[in-house]
Structure 1
Amino acid sequence: MSVLTAINVFRRRVMHSLTKNVGKSKRDLDIVLVDKTEIKRILICRPNARLGNLLLITPLVQEVSEMFPNCKIDLFVKGPLAPIIFKNYDTVHKTIHLPKKPFKSLLKYCKVWISIRRQPYDMAINVDQNSSSGRLAIIFSRAKYKFYGDLSDQQQHQHVKSDYEHIAKYPVYNFRNYLTKLGLAKSNSIILPLDLKLTQPELKKGKKTLKKIVDGSSKKTICLFTYATGTKCLSQDWWMDFYQTLKQQYADYTIIEILPIENVSQIGFEAPSFYSKDIRKIGAVIANAMVFIGADSGVMHLASSVQTPTVGLFSVSDLKKYEPYDNSSIGVDVTTCSLKDYFKILNGILNNGKLKAYSKAV
């Protein structure tokens, strides 16, 4: 671990320790929201720059938009991706960007906090209860209704949904509980999937791009993403074995590989491939495939967000927390699955019978 990394880890621990109780003394104030139309400006805080983490807040943004359809939403984030991801979200008014390296951009860092303080927000919502910057942004705002992202001690001991652990879902469940404290009826609707909100022109361009990748083949497409960061990345031997067997089992399909920004391939570039730094173009190509297979990564969540059935391969990550869901998607543990199991799962997905196939396979 480098000195800078060690300092950053220490800084995060200190900040978390200092902010973990921020807002707890005010959470249980008896404030009632009489008229939902008074909520016109909302701040949602997720100061993170990763593709996957930003895509994973799309269900919450959709939830807030449905609950307060006349509101404008500002997103407090990091990095350049949020404006691209939320490009077609009509309720998202603007994105506020916290510098990745605040000590190198101190003036910009201060301006961000000043802008949050100046905006007349009616409600402020923190997505991740463990985010120090998110909690501070909530208390720093002048919003009347402030949600810090966590449940009360009493609610934590109550029965929660079986899928509560999922990182895209528990912020929605927590927010719904918060709204009941304001006097609103609790929603029991199914939580919406991740959604990049691709347009029809984008999807058509993606289809044309896919045709070029497969040289005009009329075969249906299986899409692979063989890369992931750190220990999440499966070995070249694992991928080559999987790819060769996949080609044999699905000879009637064309297999393509989406390449990461690092432009590397765990199958030695043996399959037709697509490389782009534009996440909407990547998403549009994946949207035209029959199924996506890849390890836990931002691109896995991207595939899920364009409603392509997604098979997430998990080796070290918490499957319940990060697995793709909806649209016949599923996460599998590679440490317990055999190749035979994978193909039972894939057959089930391609035949719109995912749940039956999976229950038989593992």
Structure 2
Amino acid sequence: MSFKSIINHYRRTIMKALTGNIGKGVLIKKGKIDSNLNINRVLICRPNQRLGNTLLITPLVQEIIKENPNVVIDIFVKGRVAPIIFQNYPQVDQIIELPKKPFKELINYINVWFKIRNNKYDLAINVHQESSSGRISTIVSKSKYKLFGDEFLQDDSSSEQIHLAKIPVYQFRQFLETVKGKKDDSDYPIMNLNLSQKEIEDGKNKLNAIIENPTKKTLAFFTYATGDKCYVANWWTNFYNDFYSKYATEYNLVEILPVEDISMLDRKLPTFYSKDVREIAAFMNNCELLVAADSGMMHLGVAAPTKTIGLFKSGHFNKYKPYGKGNTMVLVEDNNHLPVIEALDKILK
């Protein structure tokens, strides 16, 4: 573990200890429950800069819009990816961005907290219960009701209380049932980037430019990931030797490259490279299926949306596995890639 990772670990531990009790019982202590509450303005708090974590908010945004199509939503985030992800959600008004390096942008950092405080909301939602900044921003906000991420969670192994795309939707539904007596057992919203038809057509043109036969469906592979989540080139080479002979006749096969422009397949397949998140998603949308290591790009495939197989080595995959029907994950802890081939066969049959 690097020195930076050690510092961040202790920082998160200390902040969790300091903020863990923030918001306990606030929903109940607010006094008389207003059963006629209209959810007209909402603050969503997810101060994290990662692509995947931001995409995991999209089901909650859709759920809130379903409750009130004319709702105004502000999203408190970190980094610059959120405006790109939510640009086709007209109900999303302000993207309130926390600077990635607060000590270098101290004035901007302070202004962000004043911005949160200056707006009035019917509901503020902290998406991740363990986020210290999320809890603080929720308590700071001027909101009639506040959800801190754990009010309705029980000791339950159901996916509604484990997967990070479902938990805030579950919380919101339980809140509506508590406040308005409104129970909702419908399917949960999918992750969705809301690509426009033009974006999808442009993605199709970019795909057709690198494949030999546009009449065949395409299987895409994203082979890169950060840190311990990355599979070595030798694993991908062995996997390639099996899947190429099995699928190359019936499908086009392509590799989507990361921003680092690294190919773990040594560019054996036609490659697509872009730094534009929506452009990459539109390309993925035109593919039949995406195989991706655990990464933000895996979640981007889900939100494109296209069928996605996520590769996990270990860890809390139930929180982060590809979300929604038609998607799956494979636990690959060693050099055995046959379970991935089996997952491909099952989805493509």
Alpha-carbon distance change, 25 to 326 in structure 1, aligned in 2, over 3 angstroms: closer
Shift of 1:156: 1.8
Alignment partner, residue 295 of structure 1: 293
SS of residue in 2 equivalent to 1:182: helix
Shift of 1:17: 1.0
Structure-2 separation of matches of 1:344 and 1:151: 40
Alignment partner, residue 358 of structure 1: none
Alignment partner, residue 261 of structure 2: 263
Alpha-carbon distance change, 70 to 12 in structure 1, aligned in 2, over 3 angstroms: same
Structure-2 separation of matches of 1:91 and 1:174: 20
Percent identity, aligned pairs only? 46
Alignment partner, residue 177 of structure 1: 174
SS of residue in 2 equivalent to 1:111: helix
- What is the alpha-carbon root mean square deviation over aligned residues? 1.9
| Counterpart mapping for 1:323-338 below 5 A | 323-335=321-333, 338=336
| Counterpart mapping for 1:320-359 below 5 A | 320-335=318-333, 338-351=336-349
Alpha-carbon distance change, 14 to 262 in structure 1, aligned in 2, over 3 angstroms: same
Alignment partner, residue 126 of structure 1: 126
| Cα deviation 1:127-180 (Å, max 9, x = unaligned) | 00111111111110111111111125xx524x5634531111112112222233
Alpha-carbon distance change, 236 to 145 in structure 1, aligned in 2, over 3 angstroms: same
Structure-2 separation of matches of 1:160 and 1:182: 25
Contact 1:31 1:182 in 2 (8 A): no
Alpha-carbon distance change, 54 to 4 in structure 1, aligned in 2, over 3 angstroms: same
Alpha-carbon distance change, 112 to 258 in structure 1, aligned in 2, over 3 angstroms: same
Shift of 1:51: 0.3
SS of residue in 1 equivalent to 2:23: coil
Structure-1 separation of matches of 2:17 and 2:205: 51
Alignment partner, residue 76 of structure 2: 76
Alignment partner, residue 33 of structure 1: 34
Contact 1:308 1:327 in 2 (8 A): no
| Counterpart mapping for 1:14-93 below 5 A | 14-29=14-29, 30-37=31-38, 39-93=39-93
Alignment partner, residue 154 of structure 2: 156
Alpha-carbon distance change, 130 to 16 in structure 1, aligned in 2, over 3 angstroms: same
SS of residue in 2 equivalent to 1:213: coil
Contact 1:33 1:184 in 2 (8 A): no
Aligned-partner residue type, residue 269 of structure 1: R
Alignment partner, residue 302 of structure 2: 304
Structure 2 stretches of 5 or more lacking a match?
A: none
Alignment partner, residue 144 of structure 1: 144
- Normalised to the residue count of structure 1, the TM-score between the two structures is 0.91
Aligned-partner residue type, residue 21 of structure 1: N
- Normalised to the residue count of structure 2, the TM-score between the two structures is 0.94
Contact 1:296 1:312 in 2 (8 A): yes
Alignment partner, residue 9 of structure 1: 9
